[in-house]
Amino acid sequence: MLPSAPLPPLRMSAPALTGRIDSAITLSTVARLVASGTAVSKADLAPAAGLARTTVSTAVDELLARGVLRQDGTRPTAGRGRPADRLALAPRGGHVLLADVGARGAHLAVVDLSQQILAHAHVDVDVTAGPDAALATIESRLTELRAKAPDGVPARAVVIGLPGPVDGHLGIPVRPPIMPGWHAYPVSVRLQQTFDCPVVLENDVNLRALGEARALPADQVPLLFVKVGTGIGGGLVTSEGVLHHGADGAAGDIGHVRVRGAPDDACVCGNVGCIEAVASAAAVARKLGSASATGSITGSIAELRGLLGRGDATAVGLVREAAGLIGELVATLVHFYNPARVTLGGSLTAASDELLAGVRSVVYQRALPLATRNLVLTNSVLGEYAGLAGAIVLGIERVLSAESIDTLTAGR
Ligand SMILES: [Zn+2]
């Protein structure tokens, strides 16, 4: 039976590219295809971009003239044709400055548009000291790193990852539990003024998720990244290979959900029994400290890692307990997202395989076969550099985006 009132008009989805394709979009598409390595000659670019050969040829010539692309030798063609010019991103097209900031330290780097890391440092940054002190350290150390990179190449973008929820549109952290004083601080505006270029602000686990996904074959998405360190966080890369932020940027912020069987431990967020309060590396280290009969163990993450490395029975037991709780959470998320891959990262995974083994056993036991049939559940392949990799992706994509590419002229 038909409904008595007519249905409202319903929206149909439409491809993103409709109507007139303007030159900035063409330039951006061609540059990004070359940057991705999927098409590196004019002949390959036309079918890959879905554009006419003459359109592609004009765009390539313009990008070569602007110093965004360069010729990088030749590649053989099928049949008897002469070898085609091979294209690559020009190292002097611009630099991207990166800061992957964790709770206790930051990876800082300068890269060029061809993904070469020109300078890198791991520096002590204490986010609990507040935004002014932490950002001043990051700015001065990034400036030092820039001095080590080739001269006369402009900074085209800054990418910064922070260990808390962020609003990427406004460029501010939003009530980050472990970062006192950072709520609504204008991080992006400050760095934009310091380095005179656009700034991308992202959550640190999202950066890791994206870096991991883009380092793996394209069929490893959707990818869910679960970081177990000082806190617990998640990041999701969609089947299109991009980050899922949710309506307000809070997607993947899984540290403050509660799972079955969790004890009533108090959490920094004000609730009790959050997964972060009962199963993070910090929580396990704290329990290890209280379990120590002699009081010789203070309960730091470094101690926990040391004991795990030596196979200490109490430490291993506590990690297995934490893994059981994290496994419950991951099993729920696997049902909801049906990821191709779940990646575990953070300080606990680097120290031993106990966490991975424990999470795997719960997930494969609890999740239904359709969701786990092809699921890969493993430790991060990039380890502590996953965040830097994600920042490189976001930075170069930002520089080569349709809105930025028109401003690109080498050396300007
Ligand atoms: Zn909490």
Handedness of CA 187, 189, 195, 199 (dihedral sign): positive
pLDDT at position 74 = 80
Q: Which residues of the chain have pLDDT under 70?
A: 1-3, 14-21, 77-80, 293, 409-412
85 vs 135: CA distance, rounded Å: 44
pLDDT at position 313 = 93
39 vs 87: CA distance, rounded Å: 9
Domain ranges, ordered by start, for the chain:
23-89, 93-207+388-405, 217-380
92 vs 89: CA distance, rounded Å: 9
- In the numeric block, which tokens belong to residue 100? 């992957």
pLDDT at position 297 = 77
pLDDT at position 3 = 65
CA of 253 to the centre of ligand 1 (A): 10
CA of 244 to the centre of ligand 1 (A): 22
CA of 334 to the centre of ligand 1 (A): 21
pLDDT at position 19 = 47
Angle between helices 53-65 and 23-36 (to 10 degrees): 80
CA of 257 to the centre of ligand 1 (A): 7
- The strand pairing partners of 226, in sequence order, are 234, 344
CA of 272 to the centre of ligand 1 (A): 7
- The strand pairing partners of 101, in sequence order, are 106
CATH of domain 23-89: 1.10.10.10
pLDDT at position 369 = 83
Q: For 93-207+388-405, which CATH class?
A: alpha beta
pLDDT at position 261 = 87
CATH of domain 217-380: 3.30.420.40
In this chain, the answer to whether the domains covering 93-207+388-405 and 217-380 adopt an identical fold is yes
pLDDT digits (tens, 9 = 90+) for 216-264: 999 999 999 999 998 999 999 999 999 999 988 888 889 999 988 899 9
CA of 254 to the centre of ligand 1 (A): 9
CA of 27 to the centre of ligand 1 (A): 45
3-state secondary structure the chain: CCCCCCCCCCCCCCCCCCCCCCHHHHHHHHHHHHHHCCCCCHHHHHHHHCCCHHHHHHHHHHHHHCCCEEEEEEECCCCCCCCEEEEEECHHHCEEEEEEECCCEEEEEEEECCCCEEEEEEEECCHHHCHHHHHHHHHHHHHHHHHHCCCCCCEEEEEEEECCCEECCCCEECCCCCCCCCCCCCHHHHHHHHHCCCEEEEEHHHHHHHHHHHHCCHHHCCEEEEEECCCEEEEEECCCCCECCCCCCCCCCCCCCCCCCCCCCECCCCCECCHHHHHCHHHHHHHHHHHCCCCCCCCCHHHHHHHHHCCCHHHHHHHHHHHHHHHHHHHHHHHHHCCCEEEEECHHHHHCCHHHHHHHHHHHHHCCHHHHCCCEEEECCCHHHHHHHHHHHHHHHHHCCHHHHCCCCCCC
pLDDT at position 373 = 87
CA of 238 to the centre of ligand 1 (A): 26
- Predicted TM-score of the model (pTM): 0.92
Count CB-CB contacts under 10 A for residue 72. Answer: 15
Pairing of strands 172-173, 166-167: antiparallel
pLDDT at position 14 = 67
